[in-house]
Chain A
Amino acid sequence: MEVLKKALFTDLLKGMRVTLRTMFKPTVTLHYPFEKEKPRKRFRGIHALKLNPDGSLRCEACFLCATMCPSNVIDMEMTEGENGEKVLVDFTVDLTRCLFCGLCVEACPRDAIVMTDIYEFSQYSVDKLVLHKEDLLKLGEYYQKWERENK
């Protein structure tokens, strides 16, 4: 029986039947650059810095996100302001090393750093992948618009 099974290639024919059948099934692919998947609400994409309603920065440069970050992605520069408060000069996020774990978002006490749903951020040069304060604030505008519409 075993020999007969092998001689008649039953197992191979079974596999070929499967592939032939799938040939007539509808395709399941997304034509990516033309069709895009909408990310889920809790998807962790590129970072953003939120602003207060009055337009001032939410981030107080407490360094909690930078301390929390497992791969040292976040770096901040700050000076002392007139009344002795911390003033954020620059806030950099190095996307080349980021693993999008979301710990910075968890750590932030003021809900200043958030993660948007943007997943397409490839660049032709690596230094463009290091986001600075202005980039993050621009993304923050996008995020707050998205938040109003979706949450």
Chain B
Amino acid sequence: MTSNFLSLLFVVGLMLVAVPPITYLERKVLGHMQQRPGPMVVGFHGLLQPLADAIKLIFKEDIVPRGADRLLFMLAPSFSVFGALLAASVVPIGFIQAVPLKSGLLFVMAMSAISIYALVLAGYASNSKYSFLGGMRAAAQVLGFELPMGFAIMAMVLLYGTLDFNEMVKWQQEHGWGIFYQPVAFLLFLFMMVAEIGRPPFDLPEGESELVGGFHTEYSGMRFAAFYFGEYINIIVLSLIVSLLFLGGWSGPFAKEYPVLGVIYHLLKAGFFIFLTFWLRATFPRYRFDQMLSIMWKIMLPVSIVNVFVAALQVFLFRL
């Protein structure tokens, strides 16, 4: 595993460079799923649309509402980006890993929870009731989904016996992908991943129809964009982690001989999950708040706890 400054540059650069194409692809995919072409006007098939968006966001007036908590209001978007980037720094992509960490999974979970704090803080600091409600919903959502997610991960950690991503992939190269051992944990993690990045159908902190705009009602310009930057980086990071935990990461045919192939496999697997988030967004309406909470607390939590027992039994019986 190469762990140096170059890998850090690669990982952070990938995260920052990948966001505009992903926003473009999302709009294209959403458009085609609704039988319309998506962005078409700027450039060939709308390819320059992300650039146009960036220009628009940079030159938009940046407003701080009267009575807002200025410091927190300005800090909140950066929490979103830096939390996501910190999480990205420990995630290995193939043989490239910026910071090799023995407890990488734990660190990622902590950091992606911080990017939810950004939403809560933004809602709190905006001095707007709509934003405040959005922030509160974000807080309730964190409480709701972090537990099942933790239990889903706990099952996998029991199975692999490690928190280190590299060890996990090594285990999966020997024994087969984790999804075959723990399909329930996979589904749980998938749901919780969508909830964690706050995307439809679990995008309750925002809500155009109920909350004007949600936690980011009062934000404009680059600060508004920063939230979305954080959100999209989180999508990439969590997609990479799902493929690490359940789909064998960079393992695949000839990946051991040619490590570059491993990087491609890993990115392709992650790409599928990124596509999945678009797909879910195009398919399902937003959950009602009480529905979401009851799903989290009444279904996901018991299922995930039982699943931890199942995982423990698996380890005990098969001496994995």
User: How big is the B interface, by class?
Assistant: 10 to 19
Least CB distance, B152 to chain A, in whole angstroms: 15
* Chain B residue with Cβ nearest A33: B41
Known contacts being A16-B279, A16-B283, is A22 close to B40, with CB within 8 Å? no
* Chain A residue with Cβ nearest B191: A9
Flag if B283 contacts A28 (CB, 8 Å): no
Asked if A19 lies at the interface with its beta carbon under 8 angstroms from chain B, I say yes
Q: Which of A1-42 contact B (CB under 8 A)?
A: 9, 12, 15-16, 18-20, 22-29, 31
Chain A neighbourhood of B40, CB < 8 A: 31
Flag if B32 contacts A27 (CB, 8 Å): yes
Known contacts being A19-B279, A23-B29, A27-B32, is A12 close to B284, with CB within 8 Å? yes
Flag if A28 contacts B279 (CB, 8 Å): no
Asked if B252 lies at the interface with its beta carbon under 8 angstroms from chain A, I say no
Chain A neighbourhood of B33, CB < 8 A: 19-20, 22-23
Q: Which of B178-201 contact A (CB under 8 A)?
A: 187
Asked if B34 lies at the interface with its beta carbon under 8 angstroms from chain A, I say yes
- Taking a contact as CB atoms closer than 8 A, the residue among B36, B37, B187, B282 that contacts A19 in the complex is B282
Flag if B35 contacts A28 (CB, 8 Å): yes
Bound-complex Cα distance A25 to B282 (A): 15
- Taking a contact as CB atoms closer than 8 A, the residue among A9, A22, A27 that contacts B37 in the complex is A27
Flag if A22 contacts B35 (CB, 8 Å): yes
Flag if A27 contacts B284 (CB, 8 Å): no
Flag if B36 contacts A29 (CB, 8 Å): yes
* Chain B residue with Cβ nearest A21: B33
Chain B neighbourhood of A12, CB < 8 A: 283-284
Chain B neighbourhood of A20, CB < 8 A: 33, 279
- Taking a contact as CB atoms closer than 8 A, the residue among B29, B35, B280, B283 that contacts A25 in the complex is B35
* Pairs across A and B, CB under 8 Å, 5 listed: A9-B187, A20-B33, A20-B279, A24-B32, A27-B35
